[in-house]
A and B are shown apart, each in its own frame.
Chain A
Amino acid sequence: MSAARSTILEGIRSAIGGAGVAASGGRAQTAPSRARPARPVAAFVENAERAGCTVQRVEDVNTVPEAVAAFLARHDLGDAVRCAPEPFLDTIPWSRRSAMAIETGVVRDGDRIAITAAAAGVAETGTLVLSSGPDRAILNAFLPEAHIGILRSGDVVGSYEESWTRLGAGADGGWPPRTVTWVTGPSRTADIEQTLIVGVHGPSLIHVIVVGDEEA
């Protein structure tokens, strides 16, 4: 299809009167004020709840198993949990809640609950930032009925732009990740008579556990 390529590029150049130039730097842009909150964690929590997530703050990883167990019990979700193979999630002392069956790996069809670690949380809209990688399965946030996102309070940023930096923008190797997904609330549709229903293809429940003492 190289003929098509040159026809299209020539067509563009004749339409714009010569060869275009791709700018080398980014343009100056200012993030809106809501992307620069004084208390990012509080703003994140407020916006994530508005988007339909439930959010819980815990002091440290030691209290995560209890928070997860409470969430499962509240929604009668059973006790089998698929946990993404991320090093941070390995530091959680799951044995404190031995009733839960934690299995590590990529989610499988039929799994009801999956846990992922978020690379960042964006305060401006209460968005979880997930990325792909050897220990990060994008599918964990899509296939199950309920998704639990674990977010370190220090990883909450104001704007989307800052979240790129958290993911290592500009660094050599591995940037950009193959897939970066922003999740803001549970899967939803209004395709039938414009009535909102949650839980279409993705999870109907999203529980965010914010770990750490920033703004506590």
Chain B
Amino acid sequence: MEPKSRNFVADSNRALVDPVLQGTLAKLAGGFPDARRDAVSRLPEFDALRDAARDIKDEVLDNLDAYLERFEERVIALGGHVHWCRDAAEACDVILGICRGAGARTVTKSKSMIGEEIAINEHLEAHGIEPVETDLGEYIIQLRREPPSHIIAPAIHLTRDHVAETFREHHHELAADRPLEGGDALLDEARSILRRRFLAADVGITGANMLVAETGAAVTVTNEGNAELTMTLPKVHVVVASIEKVVPTLADAVTILRVLARSATGQDISVYTTFAAGPRRPGDADGPEAFHVVLLDNGRTATLGNEFRDILRCIRCGACLNHCPVYGAAGGHAYGWVYSGPMGAALTPSLIGIEHAPDLPDASSFCGRCEEICPMRIPLPALLRRWRQRRHEARLGSATSRWGLAIWAFVARRPALYRLVIAAAAALLGLAGGRSGRLRRLPLGGGWTDVRDLPAPEGRTFMRAWRARNHEPLEPAP
């Protein structure tokens, strides 16, 4: 999909007044975060495991070329194929080539954020191959032609009624007057429709939560079981993954799995975790005849070499979305592309350019919850702050904010001037507040005063009040 991230401000404002969206987002606040807290409380070593997980990924990133080569070597030894792709267009062409080689008419897909990133569905459709998403949430949004609004719960913005309406519109083969009330009925219908698609598919495309260099395995994590049916039933299995997904060993994968589901949904482990390595072996009772791994760069090597490298540790658990006040208010679609929430705000500018997402660094109150709960200890607020700096350097912000920052910087570097200006401003605002002590309008402060009053300062600064109280100049404590 074309990124619409530059419309973040307008789209998030629209989201704030959408009552249906606000209703679905309200459920998020008490759901995943509470479940995560409970799961973490059952694992006293959780923080130590986060440190270990961070160290694993840092070591991988420091030696990424070597681990990718080891992974490739293992996959080839098992009879699989590895395809290196610099960008989305190359990856789409490789996958289309594999599908054509298999004479594919329909392709089942297990939810993949990389698949979203490269827009593989559109590419296959444009060339006459029908892709079918099999994760329930992803299937629903595919029918609706919407992007995912959450990394692990792509249809979180929809209600039961939306889903029923969507199924009635698309499942023509079923009686129009069938009852479709309640989640169970919707699920049964999706299950029976998708079961036929699974059995008919020629190629199965999955993402990968990790790639294990030691064994050449792609690791998938699901609760539904759709990844396993996607990779086992068709004659070709294609894994699409970005290059930073590699981990050295099975033991390392285990460490990361111990923090992944707990952070994501608050489960101790997801229902299904599958390590798939290579095609069917002689005598195997089931499995695909061919196994392909599509390795995607798409801007990662550049990120590896700059001050945004830490985002490459991300394991896409979605915890930062679940704990973010901005995501919780605006929802995922406002971010305008594939990734949302704090990790989306930090990653998207790397992948599509800050000039196409100039407001995403502002999608944070800097409350720090995202960093506090991130299983990979990614300093998300610091990354967003760096993006604000980059944006400023690229002269992308509004003229008002750039001038404001320049003036503030000038004053802040001169303590005497700073104190003078602040004292004058405090005195003026104190006067303007009058007896009510509140300001209803403030020049340049409309963002605040449009929706609430600003409490006026008392008239003097903290420094002056302190001095008056102690009758002496402010000195550092001994």
Contact = CB atoms under 8 A, between A and B. Distances in A.
A58 to B, nearest CB: 25
A85 B85 contact: no
Interface stretch (A15-23, A59-67, A87-95): A15-23
B14 interface: no
A201 B43 contact: no
B271 A184 contact: yes
Contacts of B90: 1, 4
B280 A178 contact: yes
Interface residues of A, number: 77
Contact of A133 (B154, B195, B285): B285
Interface of A: 1-2, 4-5, 7-9, 11-16, 19-23, 26-27, 29-30, 32-34, 47, 50-51, 84-85, 106, 109, 124-125, 127, 132-139, 141-143, 159-161, 164, 169, 176-195, 197, 199-203
A135 B278 contact: no
Nearest to A110: B195
Given A178-B277, A179-B275, A22 B224 contact: no
B305 A15 contact: yes
Contact of A5 (B84, B154, B233): B84
B225 A142 contact: yes
- Which residue, A14, A125, A137, has most C-beta atoms of chain B within 10 A? A125
Given A1-B84, A51-B268, 16 more contacts: A2-B84, A8-B243, A22-B63, A22-B69, A26-B248, A29-B252, A125-B269, A136-B285, A184-B271, A186-B271, A188-B223, A192-B155, A192-B186, A200-B224, A201-B224, A202-B228
Closest 7 CB pairs of A and B: A202-B225, A20-B63, A15-B305, A11-B301, A191-B137, A134-B283, A22-B66
Contact of A169 (B49, B250, B271): B250
B27 A179 contact: no
Contacts of B280: 178
Interface of B: 24, 27-28, 31, 42-45, 49, 52, 55-56, 59, 61-70, 78, 83-86, 90, 94, 134-137, 140, 153-156, 158-160, 163, 183-184, 186-187, 190-191, 194-195, 198-199, 213, 215, 217, 223-226, 228-229, 231-233, 243, 248-252, 254-255, 257-258, 265, 267-281, 283-287, 295, 297, 301-302, 304-305
B304 A12 contact: yes
Nearest to A203: B225
A180 B191 contact: no
Given A12-B301, A136-B285, A176-B215, A202 B271 contact: yes
Given A13-B65, A47-B268, A193-B27, A22 B304 contact: no
A133 B283 CA distance: 7
10 contacts: A15-B304, A16-B65, A33-B44, A33-B45, A106-B285, A109-B199, A185-B271, A189-B223, A190-B31, A192-B137
Given A1-B94, A176-B215, A9 B65 contact: yes
A20 B61 CA distance: 9
A137 B226 contact: no
Contact of B274 (A34, A136, A181, A189): A181
B28 A184 contact: no
Contact of B213 (A22, A127, A139): A22
Contacts of B274: 179-182
Contacts of A106: 285-286
A94 to B, nearest CB: 20
Contacts of A190: 31, 153, 223, 265
Name the prevailing secondary structure of the A interface residues: loop
Contact of B228 (A2, A138, A177): A138
Given A34-B42, A160-B257, A179-B276, A189 B187 contact: yes
A44 to B, nearest CB: 13
Contacts of A200: 136, 187, 190-191, 223-226
A132 B285 contact: yes
Nearest to B30: A194
- Which residue, B55, B83, B269, B287, has most C-beta atoms of chain A within 10 A? B269
Given A26-B249, A27-B56, A161 B284 contact: no
A182 B269 contact: yes
A133 B273 CA distance: 18
B302 A201 contact: no
B67 A20 contact: yes
Contact of B67 (A8, A22, A27): A22
Contacts of A27: 55-56, 59, 248, 251-252
A26 B62 contact: no
B301 A15 contact: yes
A199 B43 CA distance: 28
A192 B56 CA distance: 35
A13 B249 CA distance: 21
Nearest to B184: A197
Contacts of A15: 301-302, 304-305
B302 A109 contact: no
Contact of B272 (A22, A134, A178, A181): A181
A36 B268 CA distance: 15
A141 B227 CA distance: 13
Given A34-B43, A193-B160, A9 B27 contact: no
B91 to A, nearest CB: 10
A189 B190 CA distance: 12
B153 to A, nearest CB: 6
Contacts of A160: 254, 257
A178 B304 contact: no
A181 B249 CA distance: 17
A180 to B, nearest CB: 4
B258 A132 contact: no
A178 B284 contact: yes
